């Protein structure tokens, strides 16, 4: 135990003397929480909508007015030709085009129907799909109001006695994407701190040549590796607390669940991350090798974790592969605890998976590290 305390004291001194590590520890959480939460939003707003009104009727102006002032659209109304409108779509000056042809109002009142066209730039499929859906729903709502108010439907009994549906959104009643994203950003923050710093630390000893001096000392292998990992466990938990505090103060993210359960899951997850960083450092000779290898694992696991898209939308084979993704398990547990108030029993499967993965990685890292016990 005395040997371990001496190593811990040495590691903390070395960390706080390193001018590169200090900004990562104290600045990165603030930057990630204040910038990424706003940038990594799932809300679709400010879609550039071009309305080509070639009818110039009261009905066409009524349709156009429904899009003006909407938070979803930056609306431009024009009488340009279809060729010029397509040119704006090709040059990325417009995301959606709503064509209102000439005689639209005449056809509507005379024939009972009229045709309009929605053209979307589908390079970004999410913007195109959601934008087209909103435009279609807006036109349908306007058409319904037109039928009721202007065409004087004679039989309104079906409308008077229609079934109404009331929506309740549990755990995120205002559909605020920040509440959904903050636990995910916290997971990425803890991952980056634990994986990169723990991996760099041991390799730096190799580059400086001090690892050889440590290897000839009577320090036990378990004490040396524990002394390398515990400081970064403490630092990662500190950054998690700092990020959680910023999330509560800046974005009013709800913390419904038990904080102790969250930290228990965080410790289990950090065991996985720190063990992976240690394992990468045992098979790498330089910090650049650790960086590229860790970056590869982090990007793959992060994109499959459900940070931006639900994991249920993935193919079946990807969902099977995702069962060994520690980021996915911890991110799910974080969202369940913070937003739903889940207890330890609710996240017990994630806890056992993380602990099992951490034990396997730690055992492999200890086996790979060449140090006389």
| CB-side neighbour CA atoms (13 Å) of 65 | 8
Residue 44 tokens, joined:
């679709």
DSSP letters, 147-170, are: HHHTS--S--HHHHT--------S
Q: Is the pLDDT of residue 4 over 80?
A: no
Q: Which pLDDT value is given to residue 368?
A: 82
**Angstrom distance (rounded) from CA 225 to CA 42:** 41
pLDDT category, 154, cuts 50, 70, 90? low
Q: Is the pLDDT of residue 156 over 60?
A: no
Q: Is the pLDDT of residue 155 over 60?
A: no
**How confident is the model over 79-122, as pLDDT tens digits?**
888 888 888 888 888 999 999 999 888 888 888 788 899 999 88
In which element (H, E) is residue 358 found? Answer: helix 348-368
Tell me what percent of the residues of the chain surpass a pLDDT of 90: 22
* Average pLDDT value for residue range 268-287: 90
CA distances from 365 to 77, 269, 290 (A): 63, 16, 14
Residues 6+ apart with CB under 8 A from 114: 104, 105, 107, 108
Q: Which pLDDT value is given to residue 153?
A: 54
From 211, 53, 174, 70, select the one nearest 130 (Cα to Cα). 70
pLDDT category, 334, cuts 50, 70, 90? very high
DSSP letters, 109-126, are: HHHS----EEEE-TTSHH
**How confident is the model over 187-206, as pLDDT tens digits?**
998 998 888 888 887 787 77
Of 357 and 222, the structure prediction assigns the larger pLDDT to 357
Domain boundaries, the chain: 2-40+174-368, 47-160
**How confident is the model over 223-254, as pLDDT tens digits?**
777 888 888 899 999 999 998 998 888 888 88
Tell me what percent of the residues of the chain surpass a pLDDT of 70: 93
262 burial type by CB count under 10 A (0-12 exposed, 13-18 middle, 19+ buried): buried
Of 214 and 280, the structure prediction assigns the larger pLDDT to 280
* Average pLDDT value for residue range 214-224: 73
Q: Which pLDDT value is given to residue 122?
A: 87
Of 309 and 327, the structure prediction assigns the larger pLDDT to 327
Q: Is the pLDDT of residue 372 over 50?
A: no
Q: Which pLDDT value is given to residue 353?
A: 95
pLDDT category, 59, cuts 50, 70, 90? confident
Q: Is the pLDDT of residue 157 over 90?
A: no
Q: Is the pLDDT of residue 38 over 50?
A: yes
Residues 6+ apart with CB under 8 A from 288: none
* Average pLDDT value for residue range 292-320: 86
pLDDT averaged over every residue in the chain:
84
Pairing label, strands 47-53, 96-100: parallel
Q: Is the pLDDT of residue 373 over 50?
A: no
Domain 47-160 in CATH 3.40.1710.10: yes
Residue 268 tokens, joined:
């289990």
**Angstrom distance (rounded) from CA 283 to CA 285:** 7
Tell me if residue 309 falls in helix, strand or coil.
coil
In which element (H, E) is residue 50 found? Answer: strand 47-53
Q: Which pLDDT value is given to residue 271?
A: 94
């Amino acid at each position: 135990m005395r040997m371990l305390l001496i190593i811990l004291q040495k590691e903390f001194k070395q960390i706080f003397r390193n001018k590169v590590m200090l900004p990562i520890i104290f600045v990165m959480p603030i930057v990630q929480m204040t910038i990424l939460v706003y940038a990594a939003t799932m809300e679709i707003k400010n879609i550039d909508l071009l309305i080509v009104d070639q009818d110039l009727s009261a009905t066409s102006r009524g349709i156009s007015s429904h899009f003006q002032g909407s938070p979803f659209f930056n609306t431009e109304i024009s009488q340009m030709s279809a060729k010029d409108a397509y040119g704006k779509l090709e040059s990325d000056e417009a995301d959606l085009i709503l064509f209102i042809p000439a005689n639209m109002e005449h056809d509507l009142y005379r024939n009972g129907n009229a045709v309009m066209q929605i053209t979307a730039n589908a390079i970004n499929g999410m913007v195109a799909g959601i934008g087209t859906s909103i435009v279609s729903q807006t036109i349908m709502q306007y058409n319904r109001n037109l039928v009721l108010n202007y065409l004087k439907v004679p039989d309104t009994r079906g409308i008077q006695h229609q079934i109404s549906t009331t929506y309740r959104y549990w755990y995120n009643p205002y559909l605020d994407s920040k509440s959904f994203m903050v636990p995910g950003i916290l997971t990425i923050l803890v991952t980056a701190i634990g994986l990169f710093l723990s991996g760099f630390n041991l390799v730096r000893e190799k580059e400086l040549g001090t690892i050889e001096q440590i290897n000839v000392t009577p320090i036990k292998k378990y004490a040396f590796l524990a002394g390398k990992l515990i400081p970064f466990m403490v630092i990662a938990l500190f950054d998690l607390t700092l990020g959680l505090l910023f999330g509560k103060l800046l974005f009013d993210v709800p913390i419904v669940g038990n904080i102790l359960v969250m930290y228990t899951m965080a410790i289990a997850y950090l065991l996985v991350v720190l063990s992976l960083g240690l394992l990468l450092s045992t098979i790498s000779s330089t910090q650049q090798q650790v960086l590229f290898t860790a970056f590869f694992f982090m990007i793959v696991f992060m994109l499959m974790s459900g940070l931006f898209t639900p994991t249920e939308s993935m193919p079946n084979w990807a969902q099977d592969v995702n069962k060994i993704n520690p980021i996915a398990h911890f991110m799910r547990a974080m969202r369940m605890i913070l937003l739903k108030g889940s207890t330890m029993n609710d996240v017990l499967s994630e806890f056992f998976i993380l602990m099992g993965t951490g034990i396997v990685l730690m055992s492999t890292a200890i086996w790979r590290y060449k140090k006389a016990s």
